[in-house]
Chain A
Amino acid sequence: MFYELYLGSWLSINKFGLGFIIGSVWDPVKGIFGALPLILGTLFTSAIAILISFPISLGIALALSEYMPKQLSNLFFFFVELLAAIPSVIYGLWGIYVLIPFLREVIYPFIQSNFGFIPLFSGPIYGGGFLTTSILLAIMLIPIMSTIMREIFILVPSALKEAAISLGATKWEVISVMISYARLGIIGAIMLGLGRAIGEAMAVSMVIGNKFQLFPSSLFDAWYTMAAILANEFIEAINPLHISALINVGLLLLVINLIVSIIAKIIVRYHLRIIGGIMRE
């Protein structure tokens, strides 16, 4: 796959080299392509999506595995799993017709009128854009992340919990023990979510506003991601250099996802070593 992508993007790699990664102009007419804004857009929208979805998923997973009666929990779990199975186009349409009008008419004006003095929250409100994309991605990630986390919490040995309770731990302390026991699985869930967020194309291209710029002027401004530009421009691209540049973006996307999973591996290995150390003691 790497080889195929490399072959396809050879024209662009040959012409722009590293300049492709640091360039910030995307002009199919003049044949100048640089992907830095796309890389930044992808990383920032995904990171913020994780920031939003992580605490919520953790809460849902804990509620499902610890607090709810079994029957109710199973019912809830069924619905959460169902959400994970919705195709991303549907999320995108829902984003356009439900989420965007709601954010544009209610939430964003409220934020702007109260926090408008901070540059992040100033500027025109289109409805779609950077923050909207992150929120939509977060909504898409929550079912996946919370399902995985629930499975992990169920796997926590009850002996551990009972031991903590017998030592007089409060409910909060028991949970913090559980979380620290399950942290590897939680990191795994985050990485899986991050992978999905980085690679999401359809839903993102429908709400992000597809504006090619290095940094948006505010959280409400439009931006672009790598996956979104692939979904948008590939189908009708005619110029060979344009096609090659798009394949080059695909190659970068693969590299970034690879880096994410390598980082995940490193974190997991590091933690395993600590746990191993504890075990030996």
Chain B
Amino acid sequence: MKGRSIAIIAIIIIAVISIATWYSLNPAGTTQETPQKEISLNGAGATFPFPLIDKWISEYNKIYPNIKINYQPIGSGGGQRAHIEKTVHFAASDAPLSDEQLKNATNTLHIPITIGAVVPVYNIPNIPKGLNFTGEVLAKIFLGEIKKWNDPAILALNPGISLPDADITVVHRADSSGTTYVWTNYLSAISREWKERVGMGVAVNWPVGLGAKGNDGVAALVQQTPYSIGYVEFTYAMKTGLCYGKVKNAAGEFIEPSIDSIMKAVEYAAITLPKGYESWSKVSIVNSIVNNTQAKGAYPITSFSYIIVYRELNVLPGMDRVTAKALVDFLWWCIHEGQNYSAGLYYVPLPSNVVKLNEETIKMITFNGQIIKT
């Protein structure tokens, strides 16, 4: 009896020791691969592309477990500052760097990584989605000149729809945002009065309306307030199920915002894009197609979201060749395989001519003067 229990204990001890040894010799099952050095990449910036970048990071990490990427959605402004102060490896921004900023961050490359569009959303009881709008009418509504839903200007665009005699409640973003920038860019491009009285920017002096924080805030406020109209990013319009309107383009069509119509707009605009190393401060998809009568099927209120990096990576403190290569490989992956994850998250993938431009841009990135991607 006693001998048997000693034997059992001995067997257990031997088994435990042998398993432990096996594990310590083969950590986490990486038997064949040579152990790789862990590389970490840091990024920061815009909140708009964050869900997409987050998806990219987790998918990329599945393929290359040794590369740890960290992205903090601190806002476009914060991303631009971090880039200029050289505290991150890459930054994301909804707006390109201004010429003044470029003076403090020479050799900056702009890489459009995804596309956003801003969509008018409304809440009128018993009226379905798909009301027709023009830029002039939207500008007048947001200026407070069109005050009621049954204004003749709106009725003329929507024959056969009986709009109620109710006051319009305008909802806009209260926080500074790229969404507001694109929206006011469009209204300024189309309405002279808007341009003179309000202008364009990440935050403006709104003539009328209530402010809400974030795309989700605007969506919630529109949902909660009968007879209201607001504007949100395309992704939020799709996700929240709010009624959204069609917008008339220069070709005279009323275009429903969709992945196709937004991509169309970028295809037309991409013809005139600068090279990656040039200044992108004047780039605006809105401006380039707002008067383009040839742009059939294109949704006009569209914009890029960028990743910005330095052309010569040795300007970043602590940068080495391996990290530089990892960064370039990741960017390359984002504009190719990464684009496949766009549609599932209601982001618009880059059209092929923009991908081609980005390829050229990424091939310009150097470390100590040597090109990394060939």
Q: Do A and B come from one complex?
A: yes
Interface residues of A (CB under 8 A from B): 25-30, 96-97, 100-101, 124, 126-128, 205-206, 209-212, 222, 224, 228, 231-239, 242-243
15 A-B residue pairings within 8 Å (CB atoms): A29-B199, A29-B201, A30-B205, A124-B169, A126-B210, A128-B210, A210-B210, A210-B211, A210-B213, A222-B211, A232-B176, A236-B203, A238-B77, A238-B80, A242-B203
Q: Complex: how many Å from CA A231 to CA B175?
A: 8
Asked whether A209 lies within 8 Å of B176 as measured between CB atoms, the reply is: no
- A101–B47 Cα distance when bound, in Å, is 29
- Residue of A whose beta carbon sits closest to that of B94: A236
Considering the complex, give the chain A residue whose CB is closest to the CB of B100.
A240
For residue B95, CB closer than 8 A to chain A, the reply is yes
Select which of B76, B175, B210 is within 8 A of A232 by beta carbon.
B175
Closest 8 CB pairs of A and B: A210-B211, A210-B174, A236-B176, A27-B205, A29-B199, A238-B77, A235-B75, A232-B175
Known: A128-B210, A232-B211. Is A237-B204 also a contact (CB below 8 A)?
no
Q: Is the CB of A236 within 8 A of B76?
A: yes
Docked-complex contact B198 and A29, CB < 8 angstroms:
yes
In the complex, A211 Cα to B237 Cα: how many Å? Answer: 23
Residues of A within 8 A of B220 (CB): 96-97
Q: Name the distance in Å between A60's Cβ and chain B's nearest Cβ.
A: 30
- Looking at the complex, which one of A28, A100, A124, A224 makes contact with B176 (CB distance below 8 Å)? A28
Interface, chain B (partner A; CB < 8 A): 47, 74-78, 80, 95, 167, 169, 174-178, 198-206, 209-213, 217, 220-221, 224-225
Residues of A within 8 A of B80 (CB): 238
A233 to B175 Cα, complex, angstroms: 4
In the complex, are the beta carbons of A27 and B204 less than 8 A apart?
Answer: yes
Partner of B201, one of A28, A222, A224, A228: A28
Residue numbers in B under 8 Å from A124 (CB-CB): 167, 169
Nearest-neighbour CB distance to chain B for A202, whole angstroms, equals 9
A29 and B200 contact, CB distance less than 8 A: yes
Q: Which of chain B's residues have a CB closer than 8 A to the CB of A232?
A: 174-176, 211, 213
Question: Nearest Cβ distance between residue A159 and chain B, in whole angstroms?
Answer: 53
Contacts of A28 in B (CB 8 A): 176, 201-205
* Inter-chain residue pair count (beta carbon < 8 A): 100
Chain A residues whose CB sits within 8 angstroms of the CB of B175 once the complex forms? 231-233, 235-236
Task: Tell which of A127, A224, A236 touches B224, judged by Cβ atoms closer than 8 Å.
Answer: A127
Residues of B within 8 A of A231 (CB): 175, 213
In the complex the two chains form, what is the Cα distance from A211 to B77 in whole Å?
Answer: 23
Chain A residue numbers with a CB within 8 Å of B206 are: 211-212
A75 to B267, CA, bound (A): 66
Give min CB distance, A8 to chain B, whole Å.
Answer: 13
The minimal Cβ–Cβ distance linking A162 to chain B, given in whole angstroms, is 54
Q: Please name all residues of chain B whose beta carbon is closer than 8 Å to the beta carbon of A26 when the two chains form the complex.
A: 205
Q: Give A50 to B169 CA distance when docked, in angstroms.
A: 30
B-chain residues with CB within 8 Å of residue A30 when the two chains form the complex: 199, 205
Chain B residue nearest in CB terms to A129: B210
Residues of B within 8 A of A96 (CB): 220-221, 224
Q: Is the CB of A209 within 8 A of B199?
A: no
B209 touches A211 (CB 8 A): yes
Q: Is the CB of B77 within 8 A of A236?
A: yes
* Alpha-carbon distance between A233 and B75 when the two chains are bound, in angstroms: 11
Q: Name, among B174, B201, B205, B225, the residue most crowded by chain A CB atoms within 10 Å (CB to CB).
A: B174
Query: In the bound complex, how far is the Cα of B75 from the Cα of A206, in angstroms?
Result: 19
Closest Cβ of chain A to B33, distance in Å, is 42
The winner among B169, B210, B211 for most chain A CB atoms within 10 A is: B211
List, in ascending order, chain A residues with CB within 8 A of B212's CB.
206, 210
Residues in A whose Cβ lies below 8 Å from that of B198: 29
B74: contacting residue among A27, A233, A235, CB under 8 A: A235
Within the complex, what minimum Cβ distance (angstroms) separates A112 from chain B? 15
Q: Given A128-B210, A209-B210: A236 and B75 within 8 A (CB)? A: yes
CB of A206 to closest CB in B, whole Å = 7
Minimum CB distance partner of A235 in chain B: B75
Question: In the complex, A228→B212 CA distance in Å?
Answer: 11
Across the interface, name the chain B residue whose C-beta is closest to A228: B174
Asked whether, in the complex, the Cβ of A209 is within 8 Å of the Cβ of B211, the reply is: yes
How many whole Å from A231's CB to the nearest CB in chain B?
7
For A233, list chain B residues within 8 Å (CB): 174-176, 203
Contact status of A101 and B174, CB under 8 A, knowing A29-B198, A29-B201, A30-B199: no
Which of chain A's residues have a CB closer than 8 A to the CB of B213?
A: 205-206, 210, 231-232
Chain A residues, Cβ within 8 Å of B221: 96, 128
| Distance (whole angstroms) from the CB of A236 to the closest CB of chain B | 4
**Chain B residue with the shortest CB-CB distance to A93:** B220
A206's contact among B77, B78, B95, B217, by CB below 8 Å, is which?
B217
Chain B contacts for A209, CB-based, 8 A: 210-211
Given contacts A29-B200, A100-B224, A206-B217, contact A236 B205 (CB under 8 A): no
For residue A73, give the distance in angstroms from its CB to the closest CB of chain B.
38
- Distance of B44 from chain A, by nearest CB (Å): 12
